[in-house]
Amino acid sequence: MVTKLFLNARIFTPHDEGYPLAGDKQGKVKTFNNGALLVSNGLVKAIGDRDDVLKAAEEETVNMEIDCENRLMIPGFVDPHTHLCFAARREEEFGLRLNGASYMEIHEKGGGILSSVRSVRETSEEELYTETLKNAVSALCHGTTTLEIKSGYGLDTQNELKMLRVIDSIGRDTPLDVVATFMGAHAVPEEYRNDPDAFIKMVEEEMLPAVSDQGIARFIDVFCEKGVFTIEQSRRILEAGRKWRLGLKIHADEVNDTGGAGLAAETGSVSAEHLLAAGEENLASMGHAGVIANILPGTAYSLKKPYADVRKMISLGVPVALATDCNPGSCFTESMPFIIGLAIMMMDMTPAEALVASTLNSAYAVRVADRAGSLQVNKQADFLIIDGESPAIFAYHAGVSPVKEVYKLGELVAQGE
């Protein structure tokens, strides 16, 4: 058993009370200006003021002391929504959008998601793994210690299973905890363009049994949006996923208010993603149902769209989480520090609210809050040393990552610049 004592840290951490933090608790954090952390066998043994932790350390054989030099210590980021398993970038489409083409116009002409589908189908599993690994390691260096990755660029059984195997390998071959989501209903593939119901039947009767047998995916997700899947089709897909004991997630109201947020509440989904266009009534339903809002400000930034109304969500009691949405089309970033900066400056979240949203609430959004998302006794010692004094640093020191050291289970696994 290895025991480490981290001293002289300015600790900011949410406190897990057994549920995601919402409303006036969205920004509830504990702070220790002269803090210390005792780690034993990869888990938090004690945390708090220096003198209290030193007293607890007297009962242990401390193998190593680390001076944090009065820097900020926070939990490792949990990124609860990514598509970083892809084969090719779509930078040309970004240029088209800058010249006025909309996301859905590009999609309807066979670009967008369908472009990524073609490249994944044409790429070997080994090549796909290599590209995905680059993105995952970059996320780790930017402070992400737990990561959700979706499939959804295969859109047939063979290639969806290929993607899920790659996602599983990332979790085995890196320090990251990886949560896999099956998103076979990311779009209607070109071969089913004229018969989307036949594709949905294939998802139900062929893909889902195979995904269940494989045993990698923990969630199912669906893109509920005008021009993709309707409310009725999305409900059918989610209920099929529930039968195979997958947790439910839904891409909801990204471009249009289709009622996807209401469907998330109706189905008891763990989270609803995007919500740029979600209406107040459906957001209120999410709040009553305890559905987490996975907010992706990088997507609004990339698409030049109005940002999600997070202040309204918080006022309605909706727990808010933050994610990168790292993908090759609408938002190519692995940086949670960038996302937190956007949340503070463009969505009026307080630094404390953004910290909760990127750690504890995001851990609940992928059902890992029992071990991640906050620095508490018996949770994993996943934490970051930040070149700053408070979480405001992510907005204040703009355009760079202030992450200096990344610890996973108490071990230094990555360093910033």
Q: And the tokens for 391?
A: 């979480």
What phi and psi, each to the nearest 5 degrees, are found at residue 150?
-100, 150
Closest CA to 366 of 254, 269, 261, 285: 269
Q: Which residues contact 162 (CB under 8 A, 6 or more apart)?
A: 120, 125, 128, 154
- Give the β-pairing of 320-322 and 292-295: parallel
Full pLDDT tens readout for the chain, 417 residues: 799 999 999 999 999 999 999 999 999 999 999 999 999 999 999 999 999 999 999 998 999 999 999 999 999 999 999 999 999 998 888 888 888 888 778 777 777 899 999 999 999 999 999 999 999 999 999 999 999 999 999 999 999 999 999 999 999 999 999 999 999 999 999 999 999 999 999 999 999 999 999 999 999 999 999 999 999 999 999 999 999 999 999 999 999 999 999 999 999 999 999 999 999 999 999 999 999 999 999 999 999 999 999 999 999 999 999 999 999 998 999 999 999 999 999 999 999 999 999 999 999 999 999 999 999 999 999 999 999 999 999 999 999 999 999 999 999 999 986
Q: Nearest to residue 143, comparing CAs of 202, 194, 72, 85?
A: 72
Beta strands 383-386; 403-408: pairing state: antiparallel
Using CB atoms within 10 A of its CB, is residue 122 exposed (0-12), middle (13-18) or buried (19+)?
exposed
Regarding whether 134 and 226 lie in a shared domain, the answer is yes
Q: Minimal CA–CA distance to 56: which of 70, 69, 39, 73?
A: 39
pLDDT in tens, 338-380: 999 999 999 999 999 999 999 999 999 999 999 999 999 999 9
CB 181 within 8 A of CB 209: no
How confident is the model at residue 80, as a pLDDT? 98
State how beta strands 320-322 and 3-14 pair: unpaired
Residues 6 or more apart whose CB falls under 8 angstroms from that of 269 comprise 238, 248, 249, 250, 263, 291
Q: Which residues pair with 403 in a beta bridge?
A: 386
Per-residue pLDDT, 100: 84
pTM: 0.97
Question: Which of 349, 365, 381 is the last residue before a domain boundary?
Answer: 365
Query: Do 189 and 291 sit in the same domain of this protein?
Result: yes
Query: Do residues 171 and 152 share a domain?
Result: yes
Phi, psi of 233 (to 5 degrees): -65, -40
Which token pair is 15? 């406190």
Q: What does the pLDDT read at residue 225?
A: 95
Q: What is the pLDDT of residue 161?
A: 98
- Inter-residue contact 128 to 134 (CB < 8 Å): no
One domain for residues 141 and 290: yes
Where are any strands of DSSP class E within 41-111?
43-49, 64-75, 77-79
- Rounded CA-CA distance 258/224 in Å is 8
Please give the full DSSP string across 212-258, using - where no structure is assigned: HHHT---EEEEEESTTSB-HHHHHHHHHHHHHTT-EEEEEESSSS--
Is the same domain home to 16 and 139? no
CA–CA dist 178, 397 (Å, integer): 29
Domain count, the chain: 2
Query: Are 349 and 410 found together in one domain?
Result: no
Specify the pLDDT at position 92.
84
Structure tokens at 238: 């989610």
Instruction: Give the residue numbers spanning the domain of 271.
Output: 78-365
In this prediction, residue 101 carries a pLDDT of 80
73-99 residue pLDDT tens? 999 999 999 999 999 998 888 888 888
Cα gap 384→112, rounded to integer Å = 35
pLDDT for the residue numbered 286: 98
Res 106: pLDDT: 76
Do residues 87 and 184 both lie within one domain?
yes
Residues 192 and 302 in one domain: yes
The predicted structure's pLDDT at residue 330: 87
Q: How far is CA 212 from the centre of its chain?
A: 22
The pLDDT of residue 103 is 73
User: What CATH number is given to the structural domain containing 401?
Assistant: 2.30.40.10
Residues 28 and 90 in one domain: no
Q: In what order do the strands lie in the sheet with 320-322?
A: 77-79, 144-150, 177-185, 219-224, 247-252, 271-274, 292-295, 320-322
Which SS3 state, helix, strand or coil, does residue 49 take? Answer: strand
CATH number for the domain harbouring residue 224: 3.20.20.140
> Domain check: are 179 and 291 in the same one?
yes
Beta partners for residue 4, in sequence order = 39, 64
Residues 283 and 401 both lie in one domain: no
The pLDDT of residue 250 is 98
Examine the domain organization and report whether 62 and 97 are in the same domain.
no
Spatial contact of 12 and 33, defined as CB atoms under 8 Å apart: no
354 close to 340: Cβ distance less than 8 angstroms: yes
